[in-house]
Amino acid sequence: MEYNLHRTVNLSNVSKIALSQVLIALLFVSTSSATTADVSKTKFATSHGAALNKLLAQIKITGKVTDQTTGESLIGVSVKVKGTASGTVTDINGNFTLNAPEDGTLVISFIGYTTVEVPINGKTTLAIKLQSANKGLNEVVVVGYGVQKKVTVTGSVTSVKGEELVKSPAVNLSNSIAGRMPGVIATNASGEPGYDGSTISVRGINTLGSNAPLIVIDGVPAPAGQTNIDRINPADIESMSVLKDASAAIYGARAANGVILITTKHGKLGKPDLSYTYNHGWAQATVIPKMANSTEYATMVDEIDLYNLPSQYWSDAWNAFKTTGSFTRPDNGAVTTATFSPTDFQKFADHSDPWGHPNTDWFKATLKDWSPQTRQNLQLSGGSENIKYLTSLGYENQDAYYKNSATGYKQYDLRLNVDAKVNKYVNTSVGVSGRQENRFFPAGEGASDIFRMLMRGYPYRPAYWPNDYLDRI
């Protein structure tokens, strides 16, 4: 039986169908018997048919992958056809062979080299050269009293760029490094404005005493006792490195818990550059305690009243409390009155007396859902061959979590770095920094006192004085 393999088939309505199903439909549309068919001249109409023709038109490609710098053959390089699962790897001589569409693209990838995409364009032989991806190894890392390239660093050093720290919305710098530097642990125990710094440790706890690392800013170690980086403006930082184990030995015994090296920004050659950054965020308490409501609290208080009675009367007394609010002992006639009567429970439940029988959630009445915080920075930098400068002005404003709160924190900071070339033998640098911190508290009370009173607040006491209460007396 003969097949009409030169006819045009409309596939415009075919949207999701396997290639094998299309071929079967074309080959066996007229009969169910199996016969050899020549499909070399078969053509498909519409865009779907054109795609099938391209997919069927595959060519055999051979090639070789080498290092662009040394010319050495690369073994085990992945060679894949883009958009498909078809691929292979180079042999011991860097050669590969595979079938691919003549207008396809090969994706060449190898560890330590930059991935490239090579269009086939009908070529059957390809010579591919890969460039070593050593950009990260050429980055400069601050170590001790100098700098080294990553490729030459043998000690344990981790670093983070200042531009990464600025991305964090945290007002406190010690909270910005959490999760950004391996081996550095930042533990935060408070969210109070002005006292929300994290305790930083390098590779955990090392001693029973202080575990704080040594802080070094622009090569100057911090005085003894100053072990935090809380109030440094992140916008002023060029990079931050952490030295561990032997790499910190240059600083002696004070480096037993590691060293945090902070390099601030300096001016660069060029015209004056003025920049302004503004960051606005909102903070929220992580966990709010779930306290007992008025009904639950009254129930617990009445249960405590039972303890004044012999245990054999507890069941009868509890039933009496719920019905009459008092219990009379059958042995001596003594009367025990519950602190909260059934009428009190009814008013707690129906909210008919919001002043005399409220149901106060002190945390909800006191705390805001979100607390705003802002950070602003203005920088001017530039310089010539002989003198370079950078001036930075920063402002921070952090509000507390309380409604109508008098608690808050404001900071104003200034940094000036000047680098001058006196002559071809002498260079000098001058760095000046300062800040003003303003902390506000209601009547001198801190967060611990406020939260302690919130925990101890009675739910049956009103949080606000009713506006018309005096008129109703």
How confident is the prediction along the chain (473 residues), in pLDDT tens digits per residue? 444 445 554 544 444 444 444 444 444 444 333 333 444 444 444 444 454 555 556 889 999 999 988 888 998 899 999 988 888 999 988 999 999 998 889 999 988 788 999 999 888 899 999 988 755 544 555 455 455 444 334 456 778 888 888 887 788 888 888 888 888 888 888 888 888 888 888 888 877 778 888 888 888 888 877 777 888 999 999 988 888 776 777 778 888 888 888 889 999 988 999 999 998 888 888 888 899 999 999 999 999 999 989 999 999 999 999 999 999 999 888 999 999 999 999 999 998 988 889 999 999 998 988 999 999 999 999 999 899 999 999 999 999 888 887 888 999 999 999 999 999 899 999 999 999 999 888 776 678 888 888 899 999 999 887 665 544 44
Which residues 6+ apart lie within 8 Å of 470 measured at CB? none
Residues 146 and 249 in one domain: yes
* Residue 70 within any structural domain of the chain: yes
Cα 298 from Cα 294, distance rounded (Å): 6
Among residues 419, 403, 412, the alpha carbon closest in space to that of 363 is found at 403
On whether both 219 and 240 belong to a single domain, the answer is yes
Joined tokens for residue 175: 């909270």
Query: Rounded to the nearest 5 degrees, what angle is found at the Cα of 265, between the Cα atoms of 261 and 266?
Result: 125
- Both 18 and 91 in a single domain? no
- 80 and 67 in one domain? yes
Same domain, 232 and 159: yes
Q: Which of 124, 91, 125, 88 is nearest to 108 (CA)?
A: 88
The CA–CA distances, whole Å, from 179 to 22, 174, 281 equal 53, 11, 20
Residue 414 lies in a domain: no
Q: For residue 139, what pLDDT is reported?
A: 52
How does DSSP assign 24-41, residue by residue? Answer: HHHHSSS-SS------TT
Number of domains observed in the structure of the chain: 3
- Domain stops at, among 265, 294, 317: 265
- Same-domain check for residues 73 and 48: no
Same domain, yes or no, for 142 and 101?
no
Q: Are residues 182 and 222 in the same domain?
A: yes
The residues, ordered by sequence, that sit 6+ positions from 47 with a Cβ below 8 Å of its Cβ are none
Query: What pLDDT is recorded for position 38?
Result: 44
> Which CATH number do you get for residue 93?
2.60.40.1120
Q: Please check whether residue 322 lies inside any domain of the structure.
A: no
Structural domain contains residue 5: yes
Q: Does residue 277 lie in a domain region?
A: no
343 within some domain: no
Tell me whether residue 412 is in a domain. Answer: no
Q: How far is CA 46 from CA 43, 52, 103, 438, 458, in A?
A: 10, 10, 19, 73, 78
Q: Judge whether 420 and 386 are in contact, CB under 8 Å.
A: yes
- DSSP codes of every residue in 256-283: TT-EEEEEE----SEEEEEEEEEEEEEE
Last residue of a domain, one of 265, 300, 321: 265
First to last CA, the chain: 109
Single pTM value for the model = 0.60
Q: The domain containing residue 242 runs over which residues?
A: 137-265
Question: Of 72, 103, 130, which one is at a domain's C-terminal end?
Answer: 130
Domain co-membership, 259 together with 223: yes
Domain assignment present for 249: yes
The reply to whether 246 and 153 lie within a common domain is yes
pLDDT on residue 53: 54
* β-bridge partners, 146: 143
Give yes or no: residues 97 and 43 share one domain.
no
Any residues with CB less than 8 A from the CB of 195 and at least 6 apart, and which?
A: 439, 446, 447
157: CATH: 2.170.130.10
CA 299, 301, 303, 306 dihedral sign is negative
Kindly state the tokens that stand for 173: 């710098």
Interatomic CA distance for residues 381 and 391, integer angstroms: 6
* Rounded CA separation 388/381 (Å): 8
Q: State the DSSP H helix or E strand holding residue 242, giving kind and residue range, or none if neither.
A: strand 237-244
Length of the chain: 473
- 94 and 31, same structural domain? no
Contact 157, 243 (CB under 8 A): yes
